[in-house]
Amino acid sequence: MVQLLRSLTLMMFCKKASGLLLPYQNSRASVWHTSSRCVRSFSTLQNEDEKMDAEESLVNGAARSNTVPAGDSSSKRKRPQPLEPPPGPETFPLWAYEPRPFFEFELLYESKKSLARVGRIHTPHGVIDTPGYVAVATNAALKGVDFRSADEAGQQLIFCNTYHLLLQPGTDVVEEAGGLHNFINRKNGPLITDSGGFQVFSLAYGSVHEELSTGGELKRASPKNKGRDLKGNAVKVTEEGVIFRSYRDGRKFPLTPESTVQAQKSFGADIIIPLDELPPYHIDPTVLSNSVERTHRWEARSLNEHLKDVKEQAMYCVIHGGLDRDLRKKSLEYLTSLPFDGYAIGGSLGKNGDELMELLEWMMPMMNEDTGKVNRRNKPRHLLGIADEPSIFGAVRNGIDTMDSCYPTRLSRHGTLLSREGKVHIKSGRYSRQYGVPIDRECQCSTCMQYDRPYLWHLYKANVSLLHPICNHVYNPMLL
Among the residue ranges 60-68, 250-258, 331-339, 472-480, the one whose residues contact Zn ion (CB under 5 A): 472-480
Task: Answer positive or negative: Cα dihedral of 145, 149, 155, 159.
Answer: positive
Residue 473 in contact with Zn ion, rule: CB under 5 A: yes
What is the rounded distance in angstroms from the CA atom of residue 187 to the CA atom of residue 191?
Answer: 10
Residue 380: is the preceding peptide bond cis (ω within 30°)? no
d(CA 208, CA 407): 16
Angle (CA) 425 12 189, round 5° = 75
- Which amino acid is present at 161? N
φ, ψ of residue 423 to 5 degrees: the values are: -75, 140
Q: List the one residue from 448, 471, 474, 478 that touches Zn ion (CB under 5 A).
A: 448
Q: How far is the CB of 302 from Zn ion (least distance, A)?
A: 39
Shortest distance in whole angstroms from residue 449 CB to Zn ion = 8
Catalytic residue check, 341? no
**Which is nearest to 253 in space by CA: 235, 267, 231, 240?**
235
**Three-class SS state of 37:** helix
Contact 23, 353 (CB under 8 A): yes
194 is catalytic: yes
Is residue 356 a contact residue for Zn ion (CB under 5 A)?
A: no
Residue 360 near Zn ion by CB under 5 A:
no
What value, to the nearest 5°, has the Cα angle with vertex 268 and ends 40 and 468?
110
- The answer to whether residues 68 and 238 touch, using CB atoms and an 8 Å cutoff, is yes
* Catalytic residue from among 72, 194, 341, 440: 194
Which residue's CB is nearer to Zn ion, number 299 or number 440?
440
Q: How far is the CB of 266 from Zn ion (least distance, A)?
A: 36
Instruction: Check binding of 470 to Zn ion (CB under 5 A).
Output: no
Site string for Zn ion, 416-445 (x = CB under 5 A): ---------------------------x-x
Catalytic option among 72, 229, 388, 404: 404
- Toward Zn ion, which CB reaches closer, 173 or 449? 449
Tell whether residue 235 is a contact of Zn ion (CB under 5 A): no
- Is 303 one of the binding residues for Zn ion (CB under 5 A)? no
We find the least distance from the C-beta atom of residue 286 to Zn ion, in angstroms, to be 50
Nearest distance, CB of residue 438 and Zn ion, angstroms: 7
107 φ/ψ angles, rounded to the nearest 5 degrees: -90, 115
Nearer to Zn ion, 364 or 445 (CB): 445
Measured between alpha carbons, how far is 175 from 237 in angstroms, rounded to an integer? 28
**Minimal distance in Å, beta carbon 429 to Zn ion?**
21
Whichever of 15 and 441 has its CB closer to Zn ion, that residue is 441
Total count of residues recorded for the chain: 480
* Residues marked as catalytic: 194, 404
> Which residues of this chain interact with Zn ion, rule CB under 5 A?
443, 445, 448, 473, 476
